[in-house]
Amino acid sequence: MLQLVAVVGAGAAGLCAARHILSRPGSFAPPVVFELGDSVGGTWRYDERVGTLPDGRPVLSSMYRDLRTNLPKEVMMFPDFPFDPQLSSFLPHQEVQAYLERYCENFQLRPHIRFSTVVGNVRPVVTATEGEERKVTWEVTSSDLSGRQKTESFDSVLVCSGHYSDPHLPHVPGIENFKGKVLHSHSYRFAEPFSGQTVVVLGAKSSGLDISIELAKAGAKVILSHRDRPLKFPLHPAIQQSSSVVAVEDNGSICLQDGSLCDADVLMFCTGYNFKYPFLDAAQLGLDVQDHMVSPLYRFMVPPAFPKLFFIGICKIICPFPNFNCQVQFALAVLDGSVTLPPREQMEEEVRQEQQEKLQRGVQHRHLLKMDQSQWEYCDVLARSADFPPLLPVVRSLYEEVWRQRQIHPENYRRNNYRIVSSTEWELID
């Protein structure tokens, strides 16, 4: 019997899921991909609007107008689908969107996507007890633009709904006293309106740093406030680093960790995003969903209590598309029976041990889903256990090189162009 899989979301992860499901017609029926937007691409579908749309739905994409990728296309690509070789290595977001549309056409995914359809509920239903093995099917309730609801039954669900849409806003005591504008990078689109203003940017991760550079170039004065060690590389002269924001005084002045005060026109939170799955009942699934954490997930994908539900793309600090590609292939190998998961208790125990070990190494709880160095071993393990080709060593090598360059030349590293010369080597081209 062919299995019917529901895919929630038609961003990069959902498209990748659909592509691999369709390539296994012996095991899977064509998937049903639910997408609340009217096109594919998710994050990469730039929308100049912010806030709430006329139909009442929030704008989900956090893409800004002048964003260029922070990974070169040579490693950013899905391993089985290159970008146009004519393009430079670091791309404007439009090129990534075009790439994902091409991916969708090439693998003929579009007929399987239901656009403008929002998944409102995903629920496991225990249908029978055959001996000791319980049988779980999945009820997916969705609604289209007219509000018409539909509930359908699936054998499994791949959750590919992304996690860069719900802004994380840390509490700043007294923020109601701030007289200027408060916004989150989720609602930032371009820098011109900030010209001549003083902007306190909170957070110096990729968005915080990138947006600070855009603002500085557009003539804003930027106070880059963060709690990491001071950045060592040369920054634009209009960017000044400061310690973290601790409060806003009664008169609207901003109070910093080091005791100093500053005044600003804008507070821009580049403080990341929350995980949010409004269509899942976490408790029922045995999951704990917090702002920065979803747990327990075996191999960062599977709730041990419900091993036919998979989260794709939940890890942070990864090479996203290649990572999704590995996760999807592993998930399908589990579903088609070629990989057997350990029993529930063992999965729970493995997750617990892994988390324990990280916490003992000093990793903060909120960073438990950050992969960084461990992403390569992770993908290798998935590839070995599910018997698909591992990521080539050159992907890691170039990713790490670019990461180094970004630390040294945050403004200019995107000028480099690279070429892959073998499975282990890349070269820099003029």
Ligand X SMILES: *[C@@H]1O[C@H](CO)[C@@H](O)[C@H](O)[C@H]1NC(C)=O
Ligand Y SMILES: Cc1cc2nc3c(=O)[nH]c(=O)nc-3n(C[C@H](O)[C@H](O)[C@H](O)COP(=O)(O)OP(=O)(O)OC[C@H]3O[C@@H](n4cnc5c(N)ncnc54)[C@H](O)[C@@H]3O)c2cc1C
Q: Which residues bind ligand Y (CB under 6 A)?
A: 8-14, 34-37, 42-44, 60, 62-63, 67, 69-71, 76, 118-119, 160-162, 164, 207, 279, 313, 320-321
What single-letter amino acid sits at 245?
V
Torsion of CA 156, 304, 13, 68, to 10 degrees: 160
| Contact flag: residue 251 with ligand X (CB under 6 A) | yes
Comparing CA positions, the residue from 427, 424, 200, 407 lying closest to residue 416 is 427
The least CB distance from residue 114 to ligand Y, in Å, is 9
- 3 touches, from ligand X, ligand Y, none (C-beta below 5 to 8 Å by class): none
Taking CB under 6 A as the criterion, the residue among 66, 80, 139, 263 binding ligand X is 263
- 6 touches, from ligand Y, ligand X, none (C-beta below 5 to 8 Å by class): none
- 272 touches, from ligand X, ligand Y, none (C-beta below 5 to 8 Å by class): none
How many angstroms separate the CA atoms of 349 and 17, rounded?
28
The least CB distance from residue 348 to ligand X, in Å, is 51
How many angstroms separate the CA atoms of 106 and 188, rounded?
33
| Contact flag: residue 260 with ligand X (CB under 6 A) | no
The least CB distance from residue 252 to ligand X, in Å, is 7
Taking CB under 6 A as the binding criterion, the range among 36-44, 138-146, 203-211, 246-254 that sits at the site for ligand X is 246-254
- How many residues bind to ligand X according to rule CB under 6 A? 5
The least CB distance from residue 243 to ligand Y, in Å, is 25
Comparing CA positions, the residue from 291, 250, 256 lying closest to residue 271 is 291
- 251 touches, from ligand X, ligand Y, none (C-beta below 5 to 8 Å by class): ligand X
Burial class (CB in 10 A: 0-12, 13-18, 19+), 231: middle
Taking CB under 6 A as the criterion, the residue among 261, 363, 421, 428 binding ligand X is 261
- 164 touches, from ligand Y, ligand X, none (C-beta below 5 to 8 Å by class): ligand Y
Strands 293-295 and 156-159: unpaired
Taking CB under 6 A as the binding criterion, the range among 249-257, 268-276, 324-332, 351-359 that sits at the site for ligand X is 249-257
The least CB distance from residue 218 to ligand X, in Å, is 25
The least CB distance from residue 403 to ligand Y, in Å, is 12
| Residue for token pair 């969107």 | 97
The least CB distance from residue 246 to ligand Y, in Å, is 27
| Contact flag: residue 401 with ligand X (CB under 6 A) | no
Residue among 255 and 293 whose Cβ is closer to ligand X: 255
* 334-337, Cβ contacts within 8 angstroms, sequence gap of 24 or more: 334/302, 334/307, 334/310, 334/386, 335/3, 335/5, 335/27, 335/28, 335/155, 335/156, 335/308, 336/3, 336/24, 336/27, 336/28
Residues that bind ligand X (CB under 6 A): 249, 251, 253, 261, 263
